[in-house]
Structure 1
Amino acid sequence: MAWTNSVGMIQRIHTIDSHTAGEPTRVIVDGAPDLGTGSVADQLVRFRESFDAVRCGVVREPRGSDVLVGAMLCKPADPSCDAGVIFFNNVGFLGMCGHGLIGVVQTLKELGRLSSDSCLIETAAGVVSAKLNDDGSISVDNVASYRIAKDVEIQVQGIGNVVGDIAWGGNWFFLVKTPACDLHLSRVRQLQDHAGNIRSHLNSSGFPDVDHVELFGPPTKAGSHSQNFVLCPGLEYDRSPCGTGTSAKLACLAEDGKLMPGERWVQEGILGTAFECTYRWMDETKSRIIPTISGTAFITSESTLRFDSDDPFREGIR
């Protein structure tokens, strides 16, 4: 698809929406721009450079919202993969998205595009595998995850001394250890401001690539191990426990010896929904883990988005 300003031109993009543990995903299944060949990472660059208006129009108001994560199906370069996918949100692009990948696999199942209960998906952060489970959940073996800095201390105006770890789980996270926060849905706006303040100070303290902040609290339900609150790049919060954020958490637990390979970890999100997780070491060096994140996605709608060239907000409200 070529984005055009020709008078009277209407373009259409077919999407399927789902939510995973409360967090929405909008998958572009038809009408997407032609990104050519190459790896999904290469195609993401072309998407960003030539078709960013499509990203904005699909996930931003008036067709979308700030919380919505978009996913565009594309051709994988890896011949072993069943599909490729590019993730994006209201402010840019994501290397990987855990809840979004679960939503993508549920969408591929809905479309009848999976030949078995297992599949490989190429993302901009690497190839991930997924499995459809008998109980309706989907398990994702995420990209290799690891911690790069432990007990990073920063001084945050209005908060004081903040200590946390920096880790990769498909996106970059600052996992706050102290001070502790009262995680409750009624305090979402305060938590967004709190985490946003931390991120601003962290970015200016030598870590400009960290765009997610993860706060933790005690679990609210029996069988869970932790509750989190995750601030996303566009200042919205993740309604789910965040697949890439949970992967980063597992990497820290593994390196600290607080969680053994194959040992179950249940991570609650701010809504009380949960992901069940385990990990294995990537290799004998034990420097990186392969996390497995399990959750359930539900299809919520199927739509054809219309982009009228005369519409002043065809590219979303910027």
Structure 2
Amino acid sequence: MSEREAFWVQTEDWHTAGEPFRIISDLPPHCTTTGNTVWERRLNIINQPNHPLDVLRQSLCHEPRGHADMYGGFIVPPNDSGAHFGVLFWHRDGFSTACGHGTIALGRWAIAKGLVESVQDGSVEVKIDVPSGRVTAEVNFENGKVVHVNFINVPSYQFAKELPVNISLPGSESLQLKVDLSWGGATCASVDARAVDMEIKPSNAQRFIEVARQVKAEVGVRGEHKDTSLYTIVFFETLSETDEAIEQRNVTVYAEGAIDRSPCGSGTGARVATLLAQGKLNGNKKLIHHSIINTTFEARVVSQQQDEGSQFPTCIPEVRGNAYLTGRHNFFIDPSDPTFPGFFLK
């Protein structure tokens, strides 16, 4: 098939705590990528201008088939036989190294497609190779129905503490923030929402985007880690804290200004690592993490270690949520369409 020929592509759409995830398991014949690992496949795409998979990403993510806050993934072979499949995560601006809410959706999808056998009661593991490593979607059943999915992340840790970052808010002078950086499959910056004097609610979404862009620009090269740049900015506020749990609300701005409707799976994992480093999430204590639309993930530390010479502990976070099927689509993509490969307005 020529890249200029029109074609159909099928997708299955899910949402996790409100955040969309569009899955493409059968790629068009001309949309291939090379590499021995999912990380290498991602690099192959981003290093080649107008790569067919990047054009397909735009076609399915941007309007008129998607929107500026769309998310999805292309199913690809795993790194080896230890995983069920691999996935290339994508969003409006490119291909991410991690996506926790997508992993939760993929766990549900793998069960629904029969790639992994379900059980009446108990749990099954779906092993998925993503650019940042191998993650697990542990799908839990009661009476034959899925009750929740645990996203078990790659090793996560804080790597910078209280970086000074100067920003400007409308109608005020320069404001200095203290920003913590952590790794949860992607680099995440944590910012206390009280420091920017904004309530976490949908009507403030655009204001958070504007501040996040300033934070990302000011962090600059300090946010570079594992050959990636700063990907998410999590604005959080603490609602309550007991010996059993710390409850927070957050709004996560990712890529170049998209808002996560969920509490952000990878971002929640990164928050777990930061709270652990602060001594606030030891033992069996949970993080109850609410989103900007008031959906919720629960998270905890599965295991931890203190590496020699490291200032901060490394942990394996577990993030609990669920995903729901929203539809199956058969999209027609025509390169002669004047809007090809897509557009968005914000």
Q: Shared topology, TM-score over 0.5?
A: yes
C-alpha distance after superposition, 1:192-246 (max 9, x if no partner): 222222222222x7436213111111339x9760000111113111100001111
Cα distance in 1 between the residues matched to 2:325 and 2:180: 35
Matches within 5 A, 1:265-280: 265-280=287-302
Question: Structure 1 residues 115 and 194 mapped into 2: Cα distance closer, same or farther (>3 Å)?
Answer: same
The DSSP-based 3-state class of the residue aligned with 2:216 is helix
CA-based RMSD:
2.2
Residues 70-111 of structure 1 deviation map (CA, whole Å, 9 limit, x = unaligned): 111111022110111110111011111000111112122222
The separation in 1 between residues aligned to 2:264 and 2:2, in whole angstroms, is 32
> What are the ranges of 5 or more consecutive residues in structure 1 without an aligned counterpart?
none
Unaligned runs of 5+ in 2: 119-123
Deviations 1:279-317 (A, max 9, x none): 133445373110001101001010111111321233222
Work out the CA distance in 1 between the residues paired with 2:246 and 2:277.
21
Give the number of the structure whose residues are more often strand, by fraction.
2
- 1:55 and 1:113, CA in 2 relative to 1: closer, same or farther beyond 3 A? same
Please name the residue that 1:118 is paired with.
125
Equivalent residue for 1:44?
42
Segment drifting more, 279-288 vs 95-104? 279-288
> How far apart, in 2, do the equivalents of 1:144 and 1:290 lie?
5
Secondary structure (helix, strand or coil) at the match of 1:137 reads strand
Change in Cα spacing, 1:300 to 1:224, as seen in structure 2 (3 Å) is farther
Q: Distance in 2 between matches of 1:114 and 1:43?
A: 24
The separation in 1 between residues aligned to 2:16 and 2:9, in whole angstroms, is 22
1:130 to 137, 141, 157: 137
Counterpart CA distance in 1 for 2:256 and 2:338 is 23
Runs of 4+ in 1 over 6 A off after TM superposition: none
1:185 to 202, 220, 227: 202
Secondary structure of residue in 2 paired with 1:67:
coil
Query: Displacement, 1:188?
Result: 1.6
- Please give the secondary structure, in 2, of the residue aligned with 1:262: coil
Who is 2:254 aligned against? Answer: 232
Residue equivalent to 2:236: 216
Q: Kindly report which structure 2 residues correspond to 1:5-154, keeping only aligned pairs within 5 A, or say none.
A: 5=4, 9-32=5-28, 33-36=31-34, 38-48=36-46, 49=48, 50-51=51-52, 52-116=54-118, 117-134=124-141, 136-154=147-165
Write the distance in 1 (CA, Å) between the matches of 2:97 and 2:318.
Answer: 17
- Measured in 2, the distance between the counterparts of 1:129 and 1:91 equals 25
Does residue 259 (structure 1) correspond to residue 281 (structure 2)? The answer is: yes
TM-score by length of 2: 0.84
2: CA distance, partners of 1:304 / 1:282: 44
Aligned equivalents of 2:2 and 2:17: distance in 1?
34
What CA distance in whole angstroms lies between the structure 2 residues aligned with 1:80 and 1:210? 30
* TM-score (normalizing by structure 1): 0.91
User: Residue deviations 1:102-127, cap 9 Å, x none?
Assistant: 11121222222113521210001000
The count of residues paired between Structure 1 and Structure 2 equals 313
Counterpart in the other structure of 1:164 = 179
Secondary structure (helix, strand or coil) at the match of 1:317 reads coil
- 8 Å CA contact 2:35–2:44 kept in 1: the answer is no
- Measured in 1, the distance between the counterparts of 2:85 and 2:249 equals 32
